[in-house]
Chain A
Amino acid sequence: MDKNEQLEKLLKQALSSTAEPSEALNLKIKYRIKERKAMKPVRRRIAVALIAAFTLIMSGSAFAAWKLLSPKQVAENFGDKTLAKAFDSVNAVQINKSVTSGDYTFTLLGMTSGKNLSDFKSSVQDIHPDRTYAVVSIERKDGSPIPAMSDENYNEPPFIVSPLIKGQKPWQVNIFTMNGGYSECVVDGVIYRMIECDSIEMFADRGVYLYAGIGSFIDNQTVSYNEETGEITLNANNKEAGALFELPLDVKKADHEKAEQYLKDLLNPASESITGDETVNDSEYVSDWGSEFANGIVIPESIKEVTYDENGLACYEYNGSKVGISLDFLFKDGEAGVWKIVSINGDGEDQIAIQFMKDENGVVTGRAVKKAK
């Protein structure tokens, strides 16, 4: 055997591998493939309570959304058969209106409202059984795919979709305050976001918008509010992509008195009182969302002081969950030592609430509380 042959043999011995993938790893791959084939993109539900806001700019024109999934198909993808049927009923509105802004095209595909329309229910529906569901798609203008949910670049940039009510300040009345949430999937490089919130039909006589754009909150950088007319428009100075749709609601479905009462309750929220450091066990927890976290477990490493952005919003981030809210409506004058839920997010059973607390010195601290099972 010459030297080259010896080297060759040595290289084969040194660089060959006897390692094998574990059976668990192979099973995991098969399971994930089966899951994908079942056309069930990851279900992601995020519900956020209290005041927040978001932003954006738009320019562009409407065009048909022929290549996109229908709201019914989106609901089916989330495994919500009841809602899929609802999107197919006469009460549903197929809208298919698109707006291109910045690098993105936002398409409002359709919406529906009513009681018991979804297979997935939360305690909020015991208080507000009438819910609105709307589906928005988000595509890149250049046709390149948006990263899948399994991609580390997913959710960059983050998007927000929220109903806004004419005559109401957008930073006060939006998806965060209207017991809203969303499910999202990415199919063929297109984001489909299905939002849900308390029914907006009662506001049909006032005018309702749907905002979709880059961002995590709704604030005066995103949209402008005309105090005199109550009109909401996109903030022309905003550099980020965004669209504002006017929703075609049936005025006959408006309920002025109910809407007034709803707004009154919304703008004067009952206080959720939580105290204690390790577990949340205060029985005076009156919020619908709060009750689900009454025995939640505080994540010690999540406790930290909030920061403030240039708009004065209190910002907090833990493990990818970002919150930016105005504190104006969160704490009553002189209220100290009370933990308030500002957002709830997570996946199905595995939910985490972000809470803020102001101490007697005015320092606001945030923390994450895991929902007890």
Chain B
Amino acid sequence: MDNMDIDSLVMLYGKAVYGFCLRLAKNKDNADDLYQETFLKAMELGTKIDKSNNPKAFLISIAVRLWKNNRRKYARRQRIAPEGELNEEIASSIMCTNTSTPEEIVMLRERCAVIRTAADKLNDKLRIPLYMYYTAEMSVEDIASALRIPQGTVKSRLHKARKNLKNVLEDY
């Protein structure tokens, strides 16, 4: 087994894990905390991390468990320090798209904002697989493995989430 050290883990998967934490936690303080705890926990379980065993999925699954275990703590902080910095990050990501006209960029931003708001309102059963799939870019198989649920269930939850978001967009 080729065990990975913390430098390699952070370098290779830091961005993906952080993006996921930020999406899940909704604000920077909670995201920083969750990200940090995820890597600390991962190193505690160090013998289980090897390159051939999908470390990203392993890290994301830890983040999900920590999130679920500490939901009350994060929720409390969320009430004290709601989102903010997250919006800047999102705006910059949309500016990088190839949409041609300024009007289309504005429209795309608005639609993206609607999707994110709607996604945040989904319950965790739908929201977490959604972020694992689109934000952390995990496969259905990896999500199933991380959440310890059948692949069919992951597909069904993703489908429900998409349908929900589609309905919101149509109403918009």
A residues near B (Cβ < 8 Å) are 7, 10-22, 25-26, 28-30, 32-33, 36, 152
Contact A18 B93 (CB under 8 A): yes
Contact A12 B14 (CB under 8 A): no
Q: Which of B109-130 contact A (CB under 8 A)?
A: 111-113, 115-116, 119, 130
Bound CA–CA A15/B14 (angstroms): 17
Closest to A3 in B: B166
Q: Does B149 contact A (CB under 8 A)?
A: no
B22: chain A residues within 8 A (beta carbon):
17, 19
Q: Does B151 contact A (CB under 8 A)?
A: no
Contact B15 A30 (CB under 8 A): no
Q: Does B144 contact A (CB under 8 A)?
A: no
A10: chain B residues within 8 A (beta carbon):
108, 111-112, 115, 169
Bound CA–CA A17/B111 (angstroms): 16
- Of the A-B pairs whose beta carbons lie under 8 Å apart in the complex, a sample of 23, sorted by A's number, is A7-B166, A10-B115, A10-B169, A11-B162, A13-B94, A13-B97, A14-B113, A14-B115, A16-B134, A16-B135, A17-B18, A19-B31, A19-B89, A21-B14, A21-B15, A22-B32, A25-B32, A25-B36, A26-B14, A28-B36, A29-B6, A33-B6, A33-B40
A29: chain B residues within 8 A (beta carbon):
6, 10, 35-36, 39-40
Interface size on B, residues (CB 8 A): 43
Q: Does B67 contact A (CB under 8 A)?
A: no
Bound CA–CA A8/B89 (angstroms): 21
Contact A14 B112 (CB under 8 A): yes
Identify A15's interface contact among B18, B96, B115, CB under 8 A: B115
Q: Does B147 contact A (CB under 8 A)?
A: no
B residues near A (Cβ < 8 Å) are 6-7, 10, 14-15, 18-20, 22-23, 31-32, 35-36, 39-40, 43-44, 73, 86, 89-90, 92-94, 96-97, 108, 111-113, 115-116, 119, 130-131, 134-135, 137, 162, 165-166, 169
B19: chain A residues within 8 A (beta carbon):
16-19
17 more contacts with CB within 8 A, not counting A21-B18, A26-B14, are: A10-B112, A10-B115, A11-B134, A14-B119, A15-B115, A15-B119, A15-B135, A17-B18, A17-B22, A17-B23, A19-B18, A29-B6, A29-B35, A29-B40, A33-B39, A36-B40, A36-B44
Q: Give, as a whole number of angstroms, the nearest-CB distance from A14 to chain B.
A: 4
The answer to whether residues A25 and B35 also contact, given A7-B166, A152-B73 and a CB cut-off of 8 A, is yes
Bound CA–CA A25/B116 (angstroms): 25
Closest to A15 in B: B134
Contact B111 A18 (CB under 8 A): no
Contact A14 B162 (CB under 8 A): no
A28: chain B residues within 8 A (beta carbon):
36
Contact B35 A21 (CB under 8 A): yes
Contact A18 B92 (CB under 8 A): yes
Q: Give, as a whole number of angstroms, the nearest-CB distance from A257 to chain B.
A: 53
Closest to B88 in A: A19
A11: chain B residues within 8 A (beta carbon):
115, 134, 162, 165
Q: Give, as a whole number of angstroms, the nearest-CB distance from B126 to chain A.
A: 13
Bound CA–CA A29/B39 (angstroms): 7
Closest to B112 in A: A14
Q: Give, as a whole number of angstroms, the nearest-CB distance from B161 to chain A.
A: 9
Closest to A11 in B: B134
Contact A20 B15 (CB under 8 A): yes
Contact B112 A32 (CB under 8 A): no
Closest to B137 in A: A16
Bound CA–CA A20/B18 (angstroms): 6
Contact B96 A18 (CB under 8 A): yes
A33: chain B residues within 8 A (beta carbon):
6, 39-40, 43
Contact A21 B135 (CB under 8 A): no
Contact A18 B89 (CB under 8 A): yes
Contact B131 A15 (CB under 8 A): yes
Closest to A8 in B: B162
Contact B36 A17 (CB under 8 A): no
Q: Give, as a whole number of angstroms, the nearest-CB distance from A250 to chain B.
A: 43
Identify B111's interface contact among A14, A15, A32, CB under 8 A: A14
Bound CA–CA A32/B131 (angstroms): 28
B111: chain A residues within 8 A (beta carbon):
10, 14
